[in-house]
Amino acid sequence: MIDHETGGRLHRRHASARKSVASACVLVLVPLLLLSLLALGACSAPEGATAQQETQENEPADQQSRQQPQGTDEAEASTAIGITYTPDYRYADLDTGIRIAYVELGELSAPPVVFLHGATDSYLSWSQIAPRVAEGGYHVIVPELRGHGRSDKPETGPYTVQDHAADIDALLTQLDVEQAHVVGHSLGTFVAQRLAAENPDKVRSLTLIGSAATVEGNPTLDWLLNGDGEWPGINNEQELSDEFLVDWTLSTNGDPAFIEATYQHAKTLPVYVWRNIFNGLNGPAADLSKITVPTQIIWGTEDGFFSRDDEDALVSGLGTNPAEVEFIEKPGASHNTHWEEHADEEIAADILRFIDGA
């Protein structure tokens, strides 16, 4: 999800940034190519890992079984802990009328942890975090919210936070999950808040990354929806440009395959889905005073969506005993804190430490 300075600066910066990247690539790749040609026959270059587009077809629900998830042999970074950008999906037909895609990791008998991604994201958002948490002794469940990934994308919208929360509640019921730790990012945090406020017995703890008490009056959301004179906004766009999508998925993540995979996913989403997702954020906020579970809030100081004032309002609005609220500030980190270079181990450790003690 985007995390640059508010407003039209994003798309104006893209052209010069892309030109700089292209120049850097030429400076680096030409010498490497010459060296490779000189060394031809003396050695062979190792095969590079590339992000592959998932081509697995949705299996009919009646042909699936919730057997213990199997590991993959993907030739990607950190395969030892099962990081993959093409996971094994499962599907559930929910009482809400939505067919939702989800990924399960870890032992099914272990304590459950549910990860909820941000707007226009997918399993990919948690792909470097979820396996580490599963390895820490948890049954990890990563659903793709309606409109995202492989889940249903109804043309009728918007997709409200209430809709998403009802889907997750229905999924947990179908999976016989009585109570879970819930970890959310951005849109996923608002879904987690509503789930905890309206179904408190199902939530053991909350971890909120890039969150706020409300999005009412948020200037970045307003810019995304309605534009600024130069950018028309997604409410008025018929097609999102490649420049916009590249900027939207840009991050400092150390794995180029991750960046490419998130870009490809965003590119597959029709404009009507973007409208349904972001207009759905404008609904009423959850009643924070009803949230009484242990809560961890992680915020990057360079978050382009939510300010420190937003975080203070979130903390003060919670009904949770202040002694059970933990606020972690990540200096220099963006809205997509867990996507930052080298952040996966750190954020996974923060999550594990918190839920181990909750």
Residue 82 belongs to a domain? no
Tell me whether strands 295-300 and 203-209 are parallel, antiparallel or unpaired. parallel
pLDDT attached to residue 80: 63
pLDDT attached to residue 147: 98
* Structural tokens at position 210: 């890039």
Distance of alpha carbon 348 from its chain centroid, rounded? 14
Residue 75 belongs to a domain? no
Least confident piece of the model among 12-21, 90-99, 236-245: 12-21
Residue 282 belongs to a domain? yes
Is the per-residue pLDDT at 200 higher than 80?
Answer: yes
Residue 201 belongs to a domain? yes
Find the distance separating the first CA and the last CA of the chain, reported in whole Å.
Answer: 29
Residue 65 belongs to a domain? no
Q: What is the mean pLDDT of residues 244-271?
A: 96
3 state DSSP class of 248: helix
Domain residues for the domain of 173 are 9-19+89-357
Q: Which helix (H) or strand (E) holds 143?
A: strand 139-144
Is the per-residue pLDDT at 47 higher than 80?
Answer: no
The answer, yes or no, to whether the previous bond of 158 is cis (omega within 30 of 0) is yes
Least confident piece of the model among 29-38, 331-340, 348-357: 29-38
Helix axes 219-226, 271-280, angle to 10 degrees: 150
Residue 39 belongs to a domain? no
Q: For the domain that residue 118 is a member of, what is the CATH number?
A: 3.40.50.1820
Tell me whether strands 112-116 and 139-144 are parallel, antiparallel or unpaired. parallel
Is the per-residue pLDDT at 163 higher than 50?
Answer: yes
pLDDT attached to residue 20: 34
pLDDT attached to residue 283: 85
Q: How many domains are there within the chain? A: 1
Give 59-110 pLDDT, tens digit per residue: 444 334 454 444 344 344 456 678 999 999 999 999 999 999 999 999 999 9
Count of other CB atoms within 10 angstroms of residue 208: 27
Q: What is the pTM of this model?
A: 0.82
Q: pLDDT tier at 34 (50, 70, 90 boundaries)?
A: very low
Q: How many Å apart are CA 185 and CA 193, to the nearest integer? A: 11
E-assigned strands of 186-340? 203-209, 295-300, 325-330
Residue 104 belongs to a domain? yes
Residue 271 belongs to a domain? yes
Residue pair 166/96 in contact (Cβ under 8 Å)? The answer is yes
Q: Which helix (H) or strand (E) holds 280?
A: helix 271-280
Q: How many Å apart are CA 250 and CA 55, to the nearest integer? A: 24
